[in-house]
Amino acid sequence: MKKIVTMLLSLLLLIGIVGCTTTENSSSNSNSGSDGDSQQQGTKVLKLNNGSEPTSFDPPIGFDSVSWNALNNLMEGMTRLDENDEPQPATAKEWDVSEDGKTYTFHIREDANWSNGEPVTAEDFEFAWKRLANPDTASPAAFLAYFIEGAEAYNTGEGTAEDMMVKAVDEKTFEVNLSSPVGFFPTLISNPAFFPVHKETVEQNPEWHTEADSYVSNGPFKLSKWAHDTEFVFEKNEEYWDAKSVNLDEVHWAMVDDTNTEYQMFKTGDLHTSDVPSDLSEQLFDEGKAQVEDQSGTYFYRFNTEMEPFQNENIRKAFAMAVDQQQIVEFVTKGKEKPAKGFVAYGFEDPAGEDFRDVGGDLVTTDASKAKELLEKGMEEEGYDTLPAVTLTYNTSDSHKKIAEALQQMYKESLGVDVELANQEWNVFSTEQKALKLQFSRSSFLADYADPINFLESFQTGHSMNRTGWSNEKFDSLIEQAKNETDEEKRFELMHEAESILFEEMPIFPIHYYNHVYLQSDDVTGIVRHPVGYMELKTADIK
Amino acid sequence: MSLPEKSNQKTPYTPDDLFVPLETSSYDADRIAKPSISYWKDAWMRLAQNKLSMAGLIVLILLVLMAIFGPMMSPYSYSHQVLTNGNQAPSGEHWFGTDNLGRDMFTRTWNGARISLFVGFMAAIIDFIIGVAYGGFSGYKGGRVDNFMMRIIEILYGLPYLLMVILLMVVMGPGLFTIIVALTVTGWVGMARIVRGQVLQLKNSEHVLASRTFGASAGRVIRKNLLPNTMGPIIVQMTLTVPTAIFAEAFLSFLGLGVQAPIASWGVMANDGLSVILSGHWWRLFFPAFFISLTMFAFNVLGDGLQDALDPKLRR
Amino acid sequence: MAKYVANRLFAMLITLWIIVTITFFLMHAIPGSPFNQERNTSEAVQQNLEAHYHLNEPVFVQYFIYLKSLATLDFGPSIKQSSTSVNEMIGRGFPVSAELGMLSLAIAVISGVILGIFAALKHNGTIDYIAMTFAVIGISVPNFIMATLLIQQLAVTWEIFPVATWSSPMHMVLPAVALATGPMAIIARLTRSSMIEVLNQDYILTAKAKGMSTYQIVMKHAMRNALLPVITILGTLVAGVLTGSFVIEKIFAIPGMGKYFINGINDRDYPVIMGTTVFYSAFLIMMLFIVDIAYGILDPRIKLHKRGN
């Protein structure tokens, strides 16, 4: 027995000693190794953080930023967004639009090739787009294809693949019929959901997208290494038609899922860009280090119009007007967000070249005394002596909590109402919000495609994004009209009218528009972050 | 007795002369000089002599008193925000500084103490009761019963805690009671295993056998013979439960089980304040973390003292 | 002994089956869905996804489908990371977590036992206080604070160690230390208290009276009995450290198993929840079993094969 213990202990000691010595030995190696890597050979290596393992590099599957930010640089659709967020010819050299705006004919570049050297064909696109809508693919992004004639029917199982109106006319010509004239179609198809896939590869190997070896891409970069859960590496794709404009030789993507750590790695030079830990944003803005880029989306709150006391419009308005958005962005979030007074974010120009938001103006104002008045009026209408208890629910996160706490104080001061706070685990929260079980809850919206209609269509009756129980016939018909309107000017008018109805009845109220606060090494230039869309590295360069 | 006889023999300088007969009756000789005191009373007396342990006890009492009266000592409320006054360092105005929303950290710290201390104490006590009863019974009975009871513990260990807790939250809704239930639903198994291990070791020792021979019931044997001898590991385990519970509460708050904002326990404050390590607003992390450590320290020294005091082998 | 082991192994299977069953119905009982997103998900898309993963079938049917695939040790594909199977996840994550866990356990056991013994030998002396202060800090400073402090001081300010990731032995030091502090403190406390108890035993006093040196007494007599409580908790500690290092793995961006436990549940990724639970439970039950055996070997007072009398 004695021996066993002694042995056990010596074994543990041994492990400890070996562990210690190996760490000492390798310390010098690892230091010199990591430093020398990039500079010695003169290769340009960009070091980014992807946050976590991409859910999938199969275009229709990985419907999230951890997959599509990277994928956007591996593949290329018919179009690609430029630095002004305008669609430019990419895999398509050019395209024709029919008079009624419903038929698009794309002409694919002669020199558009896959990373395996084979040409990108119209058939690849037809295959990929039908795969997107195929119910068996179960793509979460399939609804983006619904603008195409027959795609919705195919996806919901009511139609067949043949009914979906996408067609390879010849090897390099691709024709699409839309169900309604969609002016922003060229912008829409820059989205990774519409990326082509190499038909032969996909048919031969359904697992083609899971490893670097079998991955075939047609974008500025190719996947050269993928150590799952650890990192993946891009290499410049020499087969890319515009390879001469690509400056970087390699992009290393780490998977660091902690903002503090990410920031610390940025400080030690292990990363070229980083997000900003919430408590540091003020400081870093003051030092002029943090940068801001708009993101097309809105942080807002939903009222449940089927639950007391928010069935009453005036009470809803009172709760909306008691909120001071300016104070929240200035003292609570401190991220230089723009306070939101409407639902559609900045960044959408109408035919006259003016921003949708500027034309729409402020649709909700901060006015404590008016809010108090409206609350009393609403209570009178409903016959309340005291307001039914109000619980504000948010899904757990420091930033949501801060805003909720600030709102709670604003309601106490402006309306004299004590609001209870409740936080929930994300999935429970989401389920309950969708089932209209929450009285008053935080929400967010990030645009899936770059058009105000994407924001506004959410509040159609019964839409999966509605989640308020709110329904307005006039609003519904305005959205329908806007979707079928070919005259852009008229279309914007319809959308403005719809937005003002939304704010007249106030089933929601906005807090701020989203932005992206980040740090970036001075050596790095040319990374484009689109308000709608994904990170662009084609133009990126490093000193 | 032959003593009186001997004293009658008046022979000087005999060795017997050195032994002077006792005047007192033999009854007195058998009397126990020290009053009989109970095990617990003796333990308390020994504990009171341990200065460090008493210091720990006093610190704990002070912490509890501050938790009760601390929030009243400052003119601020724990929830009132002065948004323009965020992240102020400790000063005469705000003794512990202010947090990011400009709330007074002193008030918030002592307000949070109420939750953290309550949760810590309750978890320790409930774990102790269930763990000792379960582990003691299992170890004492042994055999099939023990086997079966240990398998139940394994099941509790194996089930994903997060799932159970989310279900609890959905069924019971948020609140302090839910927190206590969530903490103790599996919290006691560690204690139970330790007690069982000790009981298995001790139950065949002589004093236990003696007690059983006299027909002592299982409960009596466990209480009188086994428990006092396992107090050491039990107390260590209990002192470990307190900080674990304080931090587990923060984790449970994250799932929405806990007390709701703007009230914040020490654990939640320490969690929220993590990024201040980078931003330099140290007071937002330091004060909650310091008082958690202080509580922990007080429990430890008190635990050490208790351990010595309760050990029957050290009894005088 | 052989019969005892066989019995225990059989009991383990039953225990596992009960855990699987409870977990399966538990995870379907809590609200949420793997396809819950803040963003738009159309009704039809949702249905396609559910059909794809058989989630539209009654829970009982799903349960038997799952048991069937479990019998072949196939945990199925992850729903969230649809191109990865749960077996692959465990295969990738476990070795990393095991490496981190063993390293930090080695640190914890060695330093904890040494601290505990010294504290006990100098009971109520300066070393005792220093060691126990150390232990108290170790327990009361949670590892996520410890980790952030370590990175900030040793990696960012002094640049001795790399900040994060898992690519060289140098990268392993900070996470292993951060993860070891808690268990180390617990082990130190336990060792100290049981050591104090053992040192007061008659046989130790006898050994002292015989003139044995302190070192000999500790090594030859006291250690073995003093470590029994440590071994009791070692089983759960091993399982906990190997699989419960989620926070440390997250902070240091270590590709271990920890995140699958948490993310699987957060995402309601049912196959991942089941796979990790089965794996973890099996591992844990195994550890508890080993601890029982080790206990029997180390402590002559317990006779395993005689239990049941």
Report CB contact under 8 Å: A396, B81: no
As to burial, measured by CB atoms within 10 angstroms (0-12 exposed, 13-18 middle, 19+ buried), residue B282 is middle
Residue A6: predicted pLDDT: 40
Residue A32: predicted pLDDT: 36
Report CB contact under 8 Å: B277, C284: no
Cα gap A78→A92, rounded to integer Å: 5
Pick the residue of B159, B239, B269, B278 with the most C CBs within 10 A to test the interface with C by mutation. Answer: B159
User: Measured between beta carbons, which residues in chain B are less than 8 angstroms from residue A406?
Assistant: 81, 83, 101
β partners of residue A173: A107, A170
Report CB contact under 8 Å: C30, B163: yes
pLDDT, tens digit (0-9, with 9 covering 90-100), for A443-464: 999 998 889 999 999 999 988 8
> Least CB-CB distance to A423: which of B100, B170, B260?
B260
Residue B18: predicted pLDDT: 64
User: Measured between beta carbons, which residues in chain C are less than 8 angstroms from residue A57?
Assistant: 83
Contacts 24+ apart (CB under 8 A), A470-473: A470/A305, A470/A505, A470/A507, A472/A501, A472/A505
Residue C286: predicted pLDDT: 85
High-pLDDT (> 90) share of chain A, %: 66
The answer, for A1 touching chain C at a CB cutoff of 8 Å, is yes
The answer, for A399 touching chain C at a CB cutoff of 8 Å, is no
ω before B262 within 30° of 0 (cis)? yes
Cα gap A309→A411, rounded to integer Å: 15
Cα gap C262→C246, rounded to integer Å: 7
Cα gap A342→A502, rounded to integer Å: 9
The answer, for B169 touching chain A at a CB cutoff of 8 Å, is yes
Q: Evaluate if residue A274 carries a pLDDT over 90.
A: yes
Shortest CA distance from C274: residue in chain B = B160
Give me C6's structure tokens.
Answer: 């066989």
Average pLDDT over residues B156-162: 85
The answer, for A213 touching chain C at a CB cutoff of 8 Å, is no
Report CB contact under 8 Å: C83, A209: yes
Instruction: Band the pLDDT of A123: cuts 50, 70, 90.
Output: very high
Report CB contact under 8 Å: B160, C273: yes
Residue A291: predicted pLDDT: 92
Number of CB pairs < 8 Å for A and B?
76
Residue B250: predicted pLDDT: 81
Pick the residue of B77, B87, B100, B251 with the most A CBs within 10 A to test the interface with A by mutation. Answer: B100
> Least CB-CB distance to A421: which of B101, B166, B260?
B260
> Least CB-CB distance to C83: which of A58, A430, A431?
A58
Residue A30: predicted pLDDT: 36
Cα gap B32→A284, rounded to integer Å: 77
Q: Evaluate if residue B59 carries a pLDDT over 70.
A: yes
Residue A139 · residue C45 · CB < 8 Å: yes
Distance of CA A46 to the CA centre of its chain: 22
Report CB contact under 8 Å: A280, B279: yes
> Least CB-CB distance to B83: which of A259, A332, A423?
A332
Min distance A438 CA to chain C CA atoms (Å): 14
The answer, for B42 touching chain A at a CB cutoff of 8 Å, is no
Which chains have 3+ CB pairs within 8 A of A?
B, C
> Least CB-CB distance to A464: which of C42, C224, C250?
C42
Report CB contact under 8 Å: C45, A142: yes
Which amino acid is it at B200? L
The answer, for A27 touching chain C at a CB cutoff of 8 Å, is yes
Min distance B204 CA to chain C CA atoms (Å): 8
Instruction: Band the pLDDT of A10: cuts 50, 70, 90.
Output: very low
Output the average pLDDT for chain A.
87
For the ranges A96-100, A299-303, A450-454, the one whose mean pLDDT is highest: A299-303
Q: Evaluate if residue A369 carries a pLDDT over 60.
A: yes
In B68-97, the residues whose Cβ lies within 8 Å of chain C are: none
User: Measured between beta carbons, which residues in chain A are less than 8 angstroms from residue C298?
Assistant: 1, 4-5
User: Measured between beta carbons, which residues in chain A are less than 8 angstroms from residue C156?
Assistant: 264, 267-268
Report CB contact under 8 Å: A427, C172: no
Average pLDDT over residues A356-369: 92
User: Measured between beta carbons, which residues in chain B are less than 8 angstroms from residue A423?
Assistant: 253, 256, 260-261
**Edge-to-edge order in the sheet of strand A103-108:** A92-97, A103-108, A173-177, A166-170
Report CB contact under 8 Å: C43, A139: no
Cα gap C135→C114, rounded to integer Å: 12
Shortest CA distance from B139: residue in chain C = C307
> Least CB-CB distance to B275: which of A278, A406, A408?
A278
Residue C223: predicted pLDDT: 78
Going by their DSSP bridges, the two strands A440-446 and A420-424 should be labelled as: unpaired
Report CB contact under 8 Å: C137, B293: yes
Cα gap B121→B245, rounded to integer Å: 9
Residue A364 · residue A320 · CB < 8 Å: yes
ipTM of the complex in this document: 0.84
User: Measured between beta carbons, which residues in chain C are less than 8 angstroms from residue A16?
Assistant: 106-107, 110
Instruction: Band the pLDDT of A392: cuts 50, 70, 90.
Output: very high
Residue C244: predicted pLDDT: 56
DSSP assignment of C7-19: HHHHHHHHHHHHH
Q: Evaluate if residue A258 carries a pLDDT over 70.
A: yes
The answer, for B154 touching chain C at a CB cutoff of 8 Å, is yes
pLDDT, tens digit (0-9, with 9 covering 90-100), for B184-193: 888 898 889 8
As to burial, measured by CB atoms within 10 angstroms (0-12 exposed, 13-18 middle, 19+ buried), residue A79 is buried
Min distance C41 CA to chain B CA atoms (Å): 24
The answer, for B163 touching chain A at a CB cutoff of 8 Å, is no
CB count in 10 Å sphere of residue A14: 11
Degrees to nearest 5, angle at CA A97 with A96 and A98: 120
The answer, for A126 touching chain C at a CB cutoff of 8 Å, is no
Residues in chain C, pLDDT under 70: 1, 38-41, 239-240, 242-244, 298-309
Report CB contact under 8 Å: C152, B154: no
Q: Evaluate if residue B134 carries a pLDDT over 50.
A: yes
In B236-295, the residues whose Cβ lies within 8 Å of chain A are: 253-256, 260-262, 272, 274-279, 281
Which chains have 3+ CB pairs within 8 A of B?
A, C
Helix %, strand %, coil % of chain B (to 5): 75, 0, 25
Instruction: Band the pLDDT of A1: cuts 50, 70, 90.
Output: very low
Instruction: Band the pLDDT of B31: cuts 50, 70, 90.
Output: low
> Least CB-CB distance to C132: which of B158, B300, B313?
B300
